[in-house]
Amino acid sequence: MLQKFQIALDPLYRLKNDFQSGLQQVDQLILENVSANEPLIKTIATTLISAGGKRLRPLLCLASSQLVGKVAQNSFYLAAAVELIHAATLLHDDVIDESYLRRGKQTANTCWGNKPSILVGDFLFARAFELMVKTGNIRFLDILASASAKISEGEVTQLRCIKSLALDIEEYLKIIEYKTATLFAAACQTGALSAGANEATAHQLYEFGKYFGLMYQILDDVLDYTDASRGKQVGDDFREGKVTFPILLAYQTDTDKAFWHQCFDGDNVNNIEFDDVLKRLHNVDAFKQSTVIATQYAQKAQESLQSFNSPVSEMMHLLVESFFEK
């Protein structure tokens, strides 16, 4: 009973509930658009899409539409396109990170191998653009093509900076802005434009999405070390040699820099006791510091909503806060 009550209070749950029929339409559009004649595509794509996921990007796209006007047919196309781009990047990321689990299930690369994962990712990406074409408005393609290029660019920079303790905060923030925040920003911006918002209003929602995405990725980087309940392996980032915010802050704060070099110089990362890493990260307050920075982006996201005043903006405001209550 208590759990039910808590769920009812959870802003993500409430927002998803408010947009339930819209999100169902989006899922329907996605499934229609991934059903190729080729059976292997159909199997991989529908398994990936049906495995769930929070649908945060389409949700924020539809919420942004509602916030400035009314969810239109184009809002659904865009919400579905954004989720397809996200799904394509997940398939490629899991190949690149050699990930075994996602959302508690075996990844596509684990089940079917890297090769189909690469190609089905390409397919979903192309289908996303086909969906955008259905809007008949080239501005949407402009925004989402540019966002897609940035996602890859962020991922390449992240790859180049693997195990690089020389990475500074500015570079890290650019990586996460490109690889994560840009798609949230584009989802909100195109959502607003599809409901008739002018460019200035849509830009406010772009800003909301960008700051939301930065907050989201920093918290995600913390959870990678601390949360065993996410359906991923704890410590994946560490073992992949990714210098994310907690590591970056720890390296800057820790007087014993040698420990971190021992972790990331050479091929030693799998020989390090992960509990030792966790202890050190806690000792230098790396998780707390990361969360403080995430809070600053959360506030900026909320400030971007200031000129709106409606039940939807209130829910988006609460949604931002809810990420700190877990």
Where along the sequence are the contacts to a second copy (CB under 8 A)? 36-41, 88-89, 92, 95-96, 114-116, 118-123, 125-127, 129-130, 132-133, 136-138, 141-142, 145-146, 148-149, 151-153, 155-157, 159-160
Q: Which is nearer to a second copy, 136 or 200 (CB)?
A: 136
70 vs 115, which CB is nearer to a second copy? 115
Q: What is the DSSP letter of 25?
A: H
- How far out from the chain centre does Cα 114 lie? 22
Distance CA 281, CA 263 (A): 13
- Name all contacts of 113-119 with Cβ < 8 Å and 24+ positions apart: 116/40, 116/44, 117/44, 117/91, 117/92, 118/91, 118/92
CB 105 to a second copy: min, Å: 21
Q: Smallest distance, Å, CB 16 to a second copy?
A: 29
Which residue, 88 or 263, has its beta carbon nearer to a second copy?
Answer: 88
Nearer to a second copy, 189 or 302 (CB): 189
Best CA proximity match to 58, nearest among 96, 29, 33? 29
CB of 38 to a second copy, least distance (A): 5
What is the closest distance, in whole angstroms, from the C-beta atom of residue 53 to a second copy in the complex? 20
Least separation in angstroms between CB 255 and a second copy: 32
| Distance, CA of 185 to CA of 181 (rounded, Å) | 6
Instruction: Encode burial over 49-73: b for 16+ CB neighbours within 10 A, e otherwise.
Output: bebebebbbbbbbbbbbbbbeebee
The Cα 308–Cα 200 span in angstroms is 13
φ/ψ of residue 102, rounded to 5: -145, 135
Residue closer to a second copy by CB (options 52, 113) is 113
What residue type is assigned to position 100 of the chain?
Y
Q: How far is the CB of 165 from a second copy (least distance, A)?
A: 18
To which residue do tokens 């931002």 refer?
A: 320
Residue located via tokens 């540019």: 146
Q: Least distance to a second copy from the beta carbon of 216, Å?
A: 21
User: In angstroms, what is the minimal distance from the CB of 183 to a second copy?
Assistant: 12
Q: Which residue, 60 or 84, has its beta carbon nearer to a second copy?
A: 84
Nearer to a second copy, 89 or 204 (CB): 89
Residue 280 parent element (H or E): helix 274-283
Q: Who's near 281: CB < 8 A, 6+ residues apart?
A: 225, 246, 247, 250, 287
Q: Which is nearer to a second copy, 68 or 144 (CB)?
A: 144
